[in-house]
Amino acid sequence: MFHVELAAIETLFDALSDVAFFVKDRDGRYLAANHTLVRRCGLRSKQELAGKTVLEVHPRALAQTYIAQDRQVIELGCTIRQHLELHLYPNRRHGWCLTHKVPLRDAAGAIVGLVGTSHDLGLADEHHPVYRQIAGIAQHIREHYREPLCLKQLAREAGLPLARVERLFQRVFHYSPRQLLLQTRLNGALALIESGRELSIAEIAGECGYTDHSAFSRQFKALTGQTPVQYRAQCRAGAAGGSQTSRAAASLLASLSH
């Protein structure tokens, strides 16, 4: 019965090109996935992905982040909701997504794995009837992310309660204003590191709106799977070896721009 239901769910998710769907066992091996995830792993069929782990099909830095998440779900029974992170877009470019993961339990209630989705963050729906109400806030965040920002103050200036702004953001952008600020600041950090400017990590953090460079480093690693120092070393190695990393970062920033 489980396999029949799983096949039906797979079929539904196969129709969604902007959603990666997956089921894993307790050891992190793929039990099921939709065609979107299979293609993004550089494979041709679901059979090729079955039984593999994220370390075998994803860049190591991303894979290690996914493994840490999976352990939280499988070992602690945690549910992960709307977690902003990087994953693979078509042609194995890096891009933003919102990830959801929940424990998969057997009839006795024991955790036997997990099921999850990662939904691409695309462009905002500019035709949504409430778009104009929050477009100014989104633009202000993107233009002034280097400065200390108070979302409550931005909402007040727009004449809206913060709770309503957050609801409208979810409808139009599919993520919160806080997630937009985090995403925009990280984009700025990636661009500074990739530029090759001789800046310390603390200086990069300061230029991107962070007052605590340790907090910046933690968030950077949580979202990219690497520390800022590791990412800079990778960029420099890539530049020396033909700028492969530079091209990857450029495609990442292009996929994140609005």
H, E, C per residue of 84-144: EEEEECHHHCEEEEEEEEEEEECCCCCEEEEEEEEEECCCCCCCCCCHHHHHHHHHHHHHC
- Each domain of the chain, given as residue ranges in start order, spans 2-120, 131-256
pLDDT greater than 70 at residue 244: no
The band of 240, judged by pLDDT with boundaries at 50, 70 and 90, is low
Q: How far apart are CA 258 and CA 254, in angstroms?
A: 9
Q: 2-120: what fold?
A: Beta-Lactamase (3.30.450)
Radius of gyration of the chain (CA): 19
pLDDT greater than 70 at residue 53: yes
Structure tokens at 156: 């007040």
Nearest to 186 by CA among 221, 150, 135, 148: 221
pLDDT greater than 70 at residue 45: yes
Backbone angles phi, psi at 82, to 5 degrees: 45, 50
Q: What is the pLDDT of residues 127-163, one digit of tens each?
A: 777 788 888 899 899 999 999 999 999 999 989 999 9
Lowest-confidence region among 3-7, 18-22, 205-209: 3-7
Backbone angles phi, psi at 29, to 5 degrees: -85, 140
Q: Would you give the distance in Å from CA 71 to the centre of its chain?
A: 18
Backbone angles phi, psi at 110, to 5 degrees: -75, 145
What separation in angstroms does the CA of 97 have from each of 13, 44, 218? 16, 23, 19
Q: How far apart are CA 37 and CA 113, in angstroms?
A: 18
Q: How far apart are CA 18 and CA 40, in angstroms?
A: 11
pLDDT greater than 70 at residue 247: no
Structure tokens at 21: 């769907």
The CATH classification number of 131-256 equals 1.10.10.60
Q: What is the pLDDT of residues 59-107, one digit of tens each?
A: 888 898 899 999 999 999 999 988 888 888 877 777 888 899 999 998 8
Neighbours of 26 (CB within 10 A): 14
pTM, to two decimals: 0.64
Q: What does the CA dihedral 75, 101, 173, 41 come to, rounded to 10 degrees? A: 110
Q: How far apart are CA 186 and CA 252, in angstroms?
A: 11
The helix-helix angle for 60-76 and 213-224 (nearest 10°) equals 90
**pLDDT on residue 258:** 41
Higher local confidence (pLDDT), 242 or 201: 201
Q: What is the pLDDT of residues 187-230, one digit of tens each?
A: 899 889 988 888 999 999 999 999 999 999 999 988 888 899 99
pLDDT greater than 80 at residue 253: no
The band of 1, judged by pLDDT with boundaries at 50, 70 and 90, is very low
